[in-house]
């Protein structure tokens, strides 16, 4: 737990929340600034600032709980769909405001005013190909770096 983290304080019960569900790795509660009726948050019990810092187990637990909650809000609210939003940022670019791993489960309705998250426009195929090349090269570099820094097994 991190003392100055709002979500850690909610997970510990220090701050109140309208709890919906919990398990050994996650806590679910209503968002106090809902985008739509039924908007809730799935929060990791473990304090990590974002998805990239989370263990695979904590990330998968948040994702599985978000999937379960998506089914719940669609059924309970008769929503037409659901958006799962998980922001990671430097504090500006990704619009993350609470630096504790969490996912928003936002029910979507035919008459809600949220609109699309981005405007879909066909990109220049050369730019798409270059983006793919950049990502593949970066992944190769990361894998090579990881192999260089692997610790040998204790029996070696």
Q: Which residues of 101-110 are buried (b: 16+ CB within 10 A; e: fewer)?
A: bbbbbbbbee
Burial of 126 (0-12, 13-18, 19+ CB in 10 A): exposed
Residue 83 has phi, psi (to 5 degrees) of -110, 135
Residue 47 a catalytic site member: no
- Collect all residues with Cβ–Cβ distance below 8 Å to 49 and sequence separation of at least 6: 99, 100, 101
Catalytic residue among 102, 104, 141, 145: 102
Task: Name which of 83, 7, 86, 97 is nearest 38 in CA terms.
Answer: 83
Q: Is 141 helix (H, G, I), strand (E, B) or coil?
A: helix
Query: Which residues are part of the catalytic machinery?
Result: 102
């Amino acid at each position: 737990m991190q003392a100055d983290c709002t979500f850690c304080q909610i997970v510990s019960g220090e701050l109140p929340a309208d709890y919906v569900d919990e398990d050994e790795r996650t806590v679910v509660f209503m968002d106090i600034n809902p985008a739509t009726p039924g908007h809730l948050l799935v929060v990791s019990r473990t304090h990590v600032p974002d998805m990239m810092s989370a263990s695979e187990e904590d990330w998968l637990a948040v994702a599985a709980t978000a999937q379960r909650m998506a089914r719940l809000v669609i059924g309970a609210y008769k929503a037409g769909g659901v958006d799962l939003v998980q922001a990671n940022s430097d504090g500006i670019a990704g619009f993350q405001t609470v630096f504790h791993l969490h996912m928003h489960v936002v029910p979507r309705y035919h008459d809600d005013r949220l609109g699309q998250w981005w405007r879909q426009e066909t990109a220049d195929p050369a730019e798409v190909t270059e983006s793919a090349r950049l990502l593949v090269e970066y992944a190769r570099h990361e894998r090579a770096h990881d192999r260089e820094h692997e610790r040998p097994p204790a029996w070696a």
